Structure 1
Amino acid sequence: MVKANIIANEDLEALLALHEDHFNDIKSKRIAPAKLQETFVAFANSDGGDLYIGIEDKAVAGQRVCGLTEPEEANAIIATLLEETQPAVENVDIEFLQTERDGIILHVAIPKSPKVHYTASGDCFIRINAAKRKIKGERITQLGYSKGAELYEKKAVKDVDLDDITDAESLNDYMARVGSKLNPEIFLRKQRLLSAEGAKKFPNVGCVLLFGEEPQATLDTRCAVKVYRLRTTEKEYRREQLEEMPVTINGNIENIIKETIKKVANYIDGAAFQENGRLVKLSYPAEALKEILVNSVLHRDYSLNDDIHVRVFDNRVEVQSPGRLPGYMSLENLYEERFSRNPNLVRMMHNLPNPVNHDIGEGLDTAKNELKKAGLIAPVFEEKENAFIVTIKHQKIASVEEVVLAYLNENPTAELTNKLVRQLSGEDDMQKVKSALQKLRANGQIRPVDDKANAFNFRYVKTQLP
């Protein structure tokens, strides 16, 4: 007999206060298993989530917890979810929560899955905020590409003649560097860079990205890199803060990686801000920048019609790649798990002498370690609807207070503003910096120049000890 875990009253209250959202849903025990399966599939096809069965909707008047009388009552539900979902969702966690007097709540924890799943009736759903949405046709194909379940890099490109690739200088140069004496067409076939369409073989997307002369003009999707230099430290920027129009970098993957690294390094070399008439220059470890830029090119979702955007601000670098994290990858397991959306691209670049890329997953570790050596905080990762963003902040591992005191020790007559401290520390939250300054003031380590100054003109100086 399955044992139920007793749920404490305070945990039950927290569960009843839960808002249904992208990651959480509650259902009545009266729900039909087939209907519940739609939500189950939606979670697995999206970012995973938690289902609680045995709780009535908040709109229901009266008793909301109406649980199962015994765990065996959930057998039909569990069988439908685990055995009739196609393909089966792996690593689902089932838990029974025994309330004091209102029965048993069934808790189903669904992981983000690297596969595309369907209900027993053949329908596909995704989770959008607090609701499920049925998708069909091309949208399912796109879901497969975004997860890495289907490899967009293997899609045949019928507009490209095979001879254009086999005669390409970039292919001949690559084969010479890896020491291959094969016929170019045989080499491409062995490297899985040709895809069949009917009886004919065509170069696939990965092949064109690697060896095409101008993939950006050939493929149906955008695949360039745009690099911006922005003279600001603010989160949002205006057009007039662009130092120049964004630079677009085209060409095959190897060329894009090399030219992007070069252009960003050039912009970084000029990254600085003015403080009391003195130019304060910023520096970033080149290896950390390289690893993150290489990752953005090799692991982006090429099925999405967007370029990579690299923005060099006065106090940070932002790298925005099309596509969310693939497969079972999440913001929480980035350093531990390994999953490649474009395995052929990664492998082909890694096969070169002195490859630009490490083994899958090692690049981020290298970036974090190089930043740490330079005394800077680890990269910051963020997912948006159709993008993955890495931010490299010029923020010291030291606290804001430590940065302020170190600066004042070197510049004992300097005047501090909130904006200057944000630039020095890399911490872009105004309230956090304000709190740090107030703490230093309360400790008697700094004092205001003018207590009555406007908030936007408030300045601090070092307290002179007697």
Structure 2
Amino acid sequence: MKTVSASSDDVKILLSVKEDHFNDVKSARIAPAKLQETFVAFANSDGGDLYIGIEDRKVTTERIIGFAEAEDANAIISTLLEETKPAVESVFVEFIQVSSKGLVLHFAIPKSPKVHYTASGDCYIRVNAATKKIKGERITQLAYSKGSEIYERKAVDDVEVEDMAESPFLKDYMERVDSNIDPVSFLRKQRLLTKSGEERIPNVACVLLFDEDPQATLQTRCAVKVYRLRTSDQDYKREQLAEMPATINGPIEVLIQKTIEKVAEYVHGASFKDGDKLVKLAYPAEALKEILVNAVIHRDYSLNDDIHVRIFDNRIEIRSPGKLAGYMTVDNLYEDRFSRNPNIVRMLHNLPNPVNHDIGEGLDHAKNELRKAGLIPPSFEEAENSFIVTVKHQKIASVEDVVIKHIKDNPESIITNRLVRQLSGEEDMQKVKKALQRLRQDGVIVPVDESAKAFNFSYVKAKH
């Protein structure tokens, strides 16, 4: 296990750690079983950093009292890494040597796609700076939110298989995928029936896909509400609604299509004042479609809430019930893949001309479409029980602006065509080349080597 030496600056950082949703400090005297509660809470929530060997802020004398030897922490390490059930994967562990004050033990705990328990069988979550024990239904809800248990597979006891087999939406789907087997066999084959007692009955995914009114059948809020708001303020008043919110119901394909149409209707022709200028709202339809589709197919259907699409004067906010599932975070959305509702995603993707891309590709496509339209990428935020995507009506800075800002922040930087393409998101080499030439003509940058070959040409900040 790695041991690093702490500089004076590192010590200041350690002492400045505040106990919050993502950080905690504990005394080296803590009982391993008690510490395991915090460890489990971080893994079950959004991850975090745990430092052992730092006394509470209330201590007025020396706060860093670490372990004299690494072996003194063996009981803690063993309890946290070996006795947590199931084991938390990808935990980073290190010792931090703080001069003569001993070793501070540091655990960097990732957000886990599983539900974890202490050695005594208790389950905890992190709520702000506190560790909270949860039981029963709350643990089930945690499993649904993480995706470790699949809510879409839950049986819907008051729905008959025969009723679903006669659904016109199921008939239409089977015709499009060219299936000639009987409807009940089709539902069973597609894992849309779940065992309940001695029989198999339609599950949540089946109802969402093929029931005429899933919102009524499931007795939960799983519609989409679309608002047009005459304001750019974060908080809005009822009188700023252009009209009453539109509530959209129906099976998932209908829900998606009607939502896309309603959003397009509210956006088309809408405008707002930017100073003395009238700016028309113009968002690429494909980008909005991808984000809306994601909101519908990846939301947490175990939560009794609707998707809310709010069209402001300067942005569109899509609030989808449920935080990101599994190990997904705001930072890895474009790189990693995880599906909370795999059957729904698969069934839609099996259609000719599916509304959804492969998992993870939809957001890439949305970002690219926004960039082509000259708009900045969407922003992402996790709230307590929801995931929010915001599409701002904000223009991307020009390539020249990106270069100017970069050399202002990094005056010694070597500017290349490739670097500028990475910084700006502009993929066209010729556009970047012309932008660099304009900056050179304006005396902002100068060549490093006039005789360099085209592909090796680079610039530095001009000295004035």
Q: Which shows bigger deviation, 213-222 or 246-255?
A: 213-222
Q: Which residue of 2 aligns with 1:96?
A: 95
Measured after TM superposition, the shift of residue 286 of structure 1 is: 0.6
Letter in structure 1 aligned against 2:251: N
CA distance in structure 1 between the aligned counterparts of 2:263 and 2:309, rounded to whole angstroms: 8
Q: Which residue of 2 aligns with 1:252?
A: 251
SS in 2 for 1:370: helix
Q: Which residue of 1 aligns with 2:73?
A: 74
Q: Which residue of 1 aligns with 2:192?
A: 193
SS in 1 for 2:247: strand
Letter in structure 1 aligned against 2:364: D
Preserved contact between residue 2 and residue 94 of structure 2 (Cα < 8 Å): no
CA distance in structure 2 between the aligned counterparts of 1:159 and 1:7, rounded to whole angstroms: 62
TM-score, normalising length: structure 2: 0.85
Equivalent residues in 2 for 1:22-421 (5 A)?
22-274=21-273, 279-398=278-397
Letter in structure 2 aligned against 1:181: N
TM-score, normalising length: structure 1: 0.84
Q: Which residue of 1 aligns with 2:408?
A: none
Preserved contact between residue 212 and residue 251 of structure 2 (Cα < 8 Å): yes
CA distance in structure 2 between the aligned counterparts of 1:66 and 1:202, rounded to whole angstroms: 60
Compared CA separation, residues 366 and 145, structure 1 to 2 (3 A): same
SS in 2 for 1:105: strand
CA distance in structure 2 between the aligned counterparts of 1:289 and 1:3, rounded to whole angstroms: 47
SS in 2 for 1:42: helix
SS in 1 for 2:95: strand
Preserved contact between residue 231 and residue 240 of structure 2 (Cα < 8 Å): yes
SS in 1 for 2:356: coil
Q: Which residue of 2 aligns with 1:437?
A: none
Letter in structure 2 aligned against 1:106: L
1:244-277 deviation line (CA, Å, top 9, x unaligned): 1000000000000000000101111022024688
Preserved contact between residue 26 and residue 56 of structure 2 (Cα < 8 Å): yes
1:280-327 deviation line (CA, Å, top 9, x unaligned): 312111110000000000000000000000011111111000000111
Preserved contact between residue 271 and residue 313 of structure 1 (Cα < 8 Å): no
Letter in structure 1 aligned against 2:321: P
Preserved contact between residue 272 and residue 280 of structure 2 (Cα < 8 Å): yes
CA distance in structure 2 between the aligned counterparts of 1:217 and 1:300, rounded to whole angstroms: 18
Percent identical: 69
Preserved contact between residue 54 and residue 64 of structure 2 (Cα < 8 Å): yes
Measured after TM superposition, the shift of residue 61 of structure 1 is: 2.6
1:446-465 deviation line (CA, Å, top 9, x unaligned): xxxxxxxxxxxxxxxxxxxx
Measured after TM superposition, the shift of residue 279 of structure 1 is: 4.3
Q: How many residues align?
A: 401
Letter in structure 2 aligned against 1:108: F
1:17-64 deviation line (CA, Å, top 9, x unaligned): 211000000011111111100000000000000010111111123111
Q: Which residue of 2 aligns with 1:438?
A: none
CA distance in structure 1 between the aligned counterparts of 2:55 and 2:265, rounded to whole angstroms: 59
Letter in structure 2 aligned against 1:310: V
Measured after TM superposition, the shift of residue 120 of structure 1 is: 0.4
Measured after TM superposition, the shift of residue 161 of structure 1 is: 1.1
SS in 1 for 2:320: strand
Letter in structure 2 aligned against 1:320: R
Q: Which residue of 1 aligns with 2:461?
A: none
Compared CA separation, residues 97 and 277, structure 1 to 2 (3 A): closer
Measured after TM superposition, the shift of residue 75 of structure 1 is: 1.2
Preserved contact between residue 195 and residue 202 of structure 1 (Cα < 8 Å): yes
CA distance in structure 1 between the aligned counterparts of 2:367 and 2:181, rounded to whole angstroms: 40
Preserved contact between residue 4 and residue 71 of structure 1 (Cα < 8 Å): no
SS in 1 for 2:332: coil
RMSD: 1.5
SS in 2 for 1:356: coil
CA distance in structure 2 between the aligned counterparts of 1:241 and 1:16, rounded to whole angstroms: 47
SS in 1 for 2:30: coil
1:11 paired with 2:10, answer yes
1:197-248 deviation line (CA, Å, top 9, x unaligned): 1111110000000000100101032110000011111211111111110000
SS in 2 for 1:396: coil
Consecutive unaligned residues in structure 2, runs of 5 or more: 402-464
CA distance in structure 1 between the aligned counterparts of 2:343 and 2:238, rounded to whole angstroms: 38
1:346-384 deviation line (CA, Å, top 9, x unaligned): 000000000000000000000111101111000011111
CA distance in structure 2 between the aligned counterparts of 1:278 and 1:143, rounded to whole angstroms: 48
Consecutive unaligned residues in structure 1, runs of 5 or more: 403-466
Letter in structure 2 aligned against 1:208: V
Compared CA separation, residues 16 and 366, structure 1 to 2 (3 A): same
CA distance in structure 1 between the aligned counterparts of 2:230 and 2:79, rounded to whole angstroms: 56
SS in 2 for 1:260: helix
CA distance in structure 2 between the aligned counterparts of 1:280 and 1:125, rounded to whole angstroms: 50
Q: Which shows bigger deviation, 269-278 or 346-355?
A: 269-278
Compared CA separation, residues 344 and 3, structure 1 to 2 (3 A): closer
Letter in structure 2 aligned against 1:102: K
CA distance in structure 2 between the aligned counterparts of 1:331 and 1:142, rounded to whole angstroms: 21
Measured after TM superposition, the shift of residue 278 of structure 1 is: 6.7
Letter in structure 1 aligned against 2:339: S
1:401-436 deviation line (CA, Å, top 9, x unaligned): 98xxxxxxxxxxxxxxxxxxxxxxxxxxxxxxxxxx
SS in 1 for 2:363: helix
Letter in structure 2 aligned against 1:193: L
CA distance in structure 1 between the aligned counterparts of 2:73 and 2:151, rounded to whole angstroms: 40
